[in-house]
C-alpha cells in the first residue's frame, strides 16, 4: 500500500508524467522505425512500427484516463471518477488486439510471398535503441505504479514490457533472414510477435474488468482488513463485508451487531472513531459501517453460502 499515502494531486502528477513520458517516447520511436522499415523492408520492423504507432494512441488514451480519474467526486459522480482508468485500460487492450491482428495478417502475407529483408545492421541498431529507451520507461512506470496503484499505467507498462520481446524478435529475425540465410524467418517472427501481443491484451483486460465489475478485493487484502478490525471489540459482530476498488481508491462496507441498549448517538460516535482509525491504517479507503441490533440478520442481503454459515 505504498502508493496509498499520496495525496490526490500527487497521484495525478505522477500518473500524468508517466503518460507524457510514454507519449514522448512513442513519437520518437515512430520516426526512427518508419525510417528503418523503409530501409530494411522487414516485416518484423513494420510490425514494431505499427506497435509504436498504436503505443502513441494508447498513451494518449492513458493520459486522458488518468486526468479524468484524478477529478474529485462531484454531484453526478458521487464515488469519484476512478473507473476512467479502467476504461482507458480497456481501450488499450482493444488497440493492442488490433495491432496483433494487423501484424499477424501482414506476416502471413509476407511468409507466402517470400520477400527478403535488407540492411539488417540498420534494423538491428534501431531495435537496440528502442530496447534501451523502453527499459528506461518501464523502470519509471514501475516506480509510478508502486506509488499510485494506477491500473492504466500498469497496463501501459505491461504493453511496453512486451515491446522488449518484440524489439528483440526484430533483431533475431533480421539476423536469421540475412546473416543465416533463413528465408521467411522475419515473417515467422512477425506471427510470433502478433501472438505475444494478443496474449498481453488478454492478460491486461483482467484488472480493468475486475474494477468495472466491482470485483472483491484479493483475499490477502481482505484478510489484512479483517485482521485490523479485530483490534476493536465493537466490531466483534462484523458481517456482510463488501469491498471494491475504483482507480486508486478503495471502498469497503460492512454490517456490525451492536447492543440494543446503545443510543443512536453512542453508536454513531463509536463507529465514527473506528472508521477514522481504520482509514488511517488503510489510506485512500472509504469505509462505511451499517449498524444492526444485536442478533439481527438481514437474510435478503446475504449470499446463499453466508446464510448457510450463519444458520450453522
Region 196-213: mean pLDDT is 75
Same domain, 75 and 13: yes
Same domain, 245 and 118: no
Same domain, 33 and 165: yes
Same domain, 198 and 229: no
Region 128-154: mean pLDDT is 85
Same domain, 172 and 274: no
Region 82-88: mean pLDDT is 73
Region 281-287: mean pLDDT is 84
Same domain, 173 and 247: no
Same domain, 272 and 126: no
Q: Give how many domains the chain has, as a whole number.
A: 2
Q: Are 211 and 250 in contact (CB under 8 A)?
A: no
Question: Residue 16 belongs to what domain range?
Answer: 2-212
Considering the chain, what is the average pLDDT of its residues? 77
Could you tell me which residues are beta bridge partners of residue 249? Answer: 246
- Residue-wise burial string across 239-251, b where 16 or more C-beta atoms lie within 10 A, e elsewhere: bbbebbbbbbbbb
pLDDT at 136: 92
Give 184-193 pLDDT, tens digit per residue.
Answer: 777 787 788 7
Same domain, 231 and 273: yes
Angstrom CA distances, 198 to 98, 101, 181, stand at 9, 8, 29
pLDDT at 309: 47
Residue 277 has pLDDT above 80, yes or no: yes
Say what the pTM is: 0.56
Comparison of pLDDT for 1 and 234, the residue scoring more: 234
Please count the CA atoms within 13 angstroms of the CA of 68 that sit on its side-chain side. Answer: 17
Give the domain CATH number at 121.
1.20.1510.10
d(CA 177, CA 175): 6
Phi, psi of 75 (to 5 degrees): -60, -35
Of 156, 180, 212, at which residue does a domain stop?
A: 212
Q: How confident is the model at residue 8 (pLDDT cuts 50, 70, 90)?
A: low
With cell 523492408, the residue in question is 41
Same domain, 158 and 226: no
Give the domain CATH number at 248.
3.30.70.1350
pLDDT at 9: 61
Q: How confident is the model at residue 70 (pLDDT cuts 50, 70, 90)?
A: low
Phi, psi of 92 (to 5 degrees): -60, -40
Q: Which residues contact 101 (CB under 8 A, 6 or more apart)?
A: 194, 198
Q: How confident is the model at residue 212 (pLDDT cuts 50, 70, 90)?
A: confident
Region 108-130: mean pLDDT is 75
pLDDT at 132: 92
Same domain, 160 and 237: no
Of 190, 212, 234, at which residue does a domain stop?
A: 212
Q: Are 162 and 150 in contact (CB under 8 A)?
A: no
Of 186, 212, 238, at which residue does a domain stop?
A: 212
Residue 33 has pLDDT above 50, yes or no: yes
Same domain, 84 and 143: yes
Q: How confident is the model at residue 34 (pLDDT cuts 50, 70, 90)?
A: confident
Same domain, 228 and 203: no
Q: How confident is the model at residue 308 (pLDDT cuts 50, 70, 90)?
A: very low
Amino acid at each position: 500500500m505504498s502508493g496509498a499515502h499520496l495525496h490526490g494531486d500527487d497521484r495525478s502528477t505522477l500518473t500524468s508524467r508517466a503518460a507524457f513520458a510514454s507519449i514522448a517516447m512513442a513519437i520518437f520511436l515512430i520516426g526512427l522505425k518508419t525510417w528503418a522499415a523503409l530501409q530494411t523492408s522487414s516485416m518484423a520492423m513494420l510490425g514494431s512500427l505499427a506497435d509504436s504507432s498504436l503505443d502513441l494512441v494508447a498513451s494518449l488514451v492513458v493520459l486522458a484516463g488518468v486526468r479524468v480519474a484524478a477529478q474529485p467526486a462531484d454531484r453526478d459522480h458521487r464515488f469519484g471518477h476512478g473507473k476512467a482508468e479502467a476504461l482507458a485500460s480497456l481501450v488499450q487492450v482493444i488497440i493492442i488486439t488490433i495491432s496483433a491482428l494487423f501484424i499477424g495478417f501482414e506476416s502471413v502475407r509476407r511468409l507466402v510471398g517470400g520477400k527478403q529483408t535488407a540492411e539488417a545492421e540498420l534494423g538491428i541498431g534501431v531495435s537496440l535503441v528502442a530496447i534501451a529507451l523502453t527499459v528506461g520507461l518501464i523502470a519509471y512506470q514501475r516506480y509510478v505504479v508502486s506509488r499510485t496503484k494506477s491500473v492504466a499505467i500498469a497496463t501501459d507498462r505491461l504493453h511496453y514490457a512486451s515491446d522488449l520481446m518484440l524489439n528483440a524478435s526484430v533483431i533475431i529475425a533480421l539476423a536469421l533472414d540475412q546473416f543465416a540465410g533463413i528465408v521467411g524467418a522475419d515473417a515467422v517472427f512477425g506471427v510470433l510477435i502478433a501472438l505475444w501481443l494478443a496474449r498481453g491484451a488478454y492478460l491486461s483486460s483482467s484488472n480493468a474488468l475486475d474494477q468495472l465489475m466491482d470485483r472483491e478485493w484479493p483475499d490477502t487484502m481482505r484478510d489484512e482488513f479483517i485482521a485490523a478490525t479485530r483490534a476493536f471489540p465493537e466490531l466483534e459482530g462484523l458481517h456482510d463485508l463488501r469491498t471494491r476498488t475504483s482507480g486508486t481508491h478503495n471502498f469497503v462496507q460492512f454490517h456490525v451487531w451492536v447492543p440494543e441498549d446503545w443510543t443512536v448517538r453512542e453508536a454513531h460516535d463509536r463507529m465514527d472513531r473506528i472508521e477514522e482509525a481504520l482509514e488511517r491504517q488503510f489510506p485512500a479507503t472509504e469505509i462505511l459501517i451499517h449498524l444492526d441490533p444485536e442478533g439481527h440478520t438481514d437474510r435478503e442481503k446475504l449470499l446463499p453460502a453466508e446464510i448457510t454459515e450463519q444458520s450453522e
